[in-house]
Amino acid sequence: MSHKDVSNDEILAYIDGALPADRCHVVEVYLTKNPDARDFVAAAERQNKMLRTALLPIMDAPVPAGLPDAAMIQRLPRWVELMKIAAVLLAGFVAGFYSDTLVQPKDRPSDLIAKVELAHQIYAQDNAYPVEYWADNQTVLQAWFSARMDAEIKVPSFAEIGFDLVGGRLMMGTKKPAALLVFEADDKRRIALYIRLDMPLTAEQKVNTQVNGKLRMTAWQEQQNGYAISGPLTAHEMLKAAALVKVHNS
């Protein structure tokens, strides 16, 4: 394809519309006299058209939800994320201490408080049979939860605050099954984590906290997912536990 007047680079630039107008004419004359170069240009122009057409459906397809959002969450260093969560939770604690209206209509995060408290008393404090699947079957437990709740359920780790997984059981949500996970510390204290995926989107988004004797409960909502933690925890431990769940789900 070489020619003393026209280089391969110029032919490429001609194909890509990057050649100055005065050289375009020279290339066009050259192409009339060189069938190989003419074939190459025709093939390249056809390739361009086909590639653009073949890849066009991707441009028209909706961008998957969460593609940028997930990136935003992961942008933040872990300590910044924890600080942000702690600030939100702290606001919830303050609001909880000074609010007389902790009992809200059904299906609000505040209602999860009552659910998790009851679950804690019935199941988490039961030494004989607190769960349906024990921690040594965690893979099965996660698969079972995911199948029954029709979404991937990941078991968070509370190792940072000294609690290990005991196991889990299915509970009732409103429209779907819910999950209850039980964790235990070396001193035999237990945490219950209640997870629901069928919260109404219109529900309140603030963090709710309540203390009943030694038992502290915190609940919040993310999209349609509701989370509630109960346990004989200090405020600081509860903050960390909630933050671990939030980070785990992000």
Partner 1 sequence: MKFVANIIPQLPYLRRFARSLTENQANADDLVQCTAEKALKMDKSFLGKGSYRAWLFTILYRTFLDQQMRFQRLNETSLEMVTDISAPETMVERAELRQVTILLQKLPEEQRATLTLVAVEGFSYEEVGKMMNVPIGTVMSRLYRARLKLKNLMGEKKLTRLEIVT
Q: Given the rule CB under 8 A, which residues bind partner 1?
A: 8-9, 12-13, 15-16, 18, 39-40, 43-44, 47-48, 50-59, 61, 63-64, 67-68, 70-72, 74-75
Nearer to partner 1, 21 or 67 (CB): 67
Closest C-alpha to 237, from 213, 208, 217: 217
Alpha-carbon distance of 88 to 239, in angstroms, equals: 10
Output the smallest distance, CB 49 to partner 1, in A: 9
Nearer to partner 1, 71 or 201 (CB): 71
Beta carbons of 152 and 248 less than 8 angstroms apart: no
Count how many Cα atoms sit within 13 Å of the Cα of residue 133 in the half-sphere of its side chain.
Answer: 19
Quickly list H helices, 61-108: 67-75, 78-98
Other C-beta atoms lying within 10 Å of the C-beta of residue 152: 9
Output the smallest distance, CB 128 to partner 1, in A: 45
Output the smallest distance, CB 175 to partner 1, in A: 29
Nearer to partner 1, 19 or 217 (CB): 19
Task: Name the E strands within the chain.
Answer: 133-134, 163-172, 177-185, 190-196, 208-212, 215-222, 225-231
Strand 208-212 relative to strand 215-222: parallel, antiparallel, unpaired?
antiparallel
Nearer to partner 1, 36 or 186 (CB): 36
For residue 33 the two structure tokens come to 């006299």
Nearer to partner 1, 18 or 159 (CB): 18
Q: Tell me the torsion sign for CA atoms 92, 98, 104, 110.
A: positive
Nearer to partner 1, 37 or 241 (CB): 37
For the CA atoms of 235, 236, 241, 245, what is the dihedral angle to 10 degrees? 100
Output the smallest distance, CB 23 to partner 1, in A: 15
Output the smallest distance, CB 11 to partner 1, in A: 8
Output the smallest distance, CB 84 to partner 1, in A: 15
For the CA atoms of 75, 77, 82, 83, what is the dihedral angle to 10 degrees? -100
Output the smallest distance, CB 42 to partner 1, in A: 9
Nearer to partner 1, 36 or 100 (CB): 36
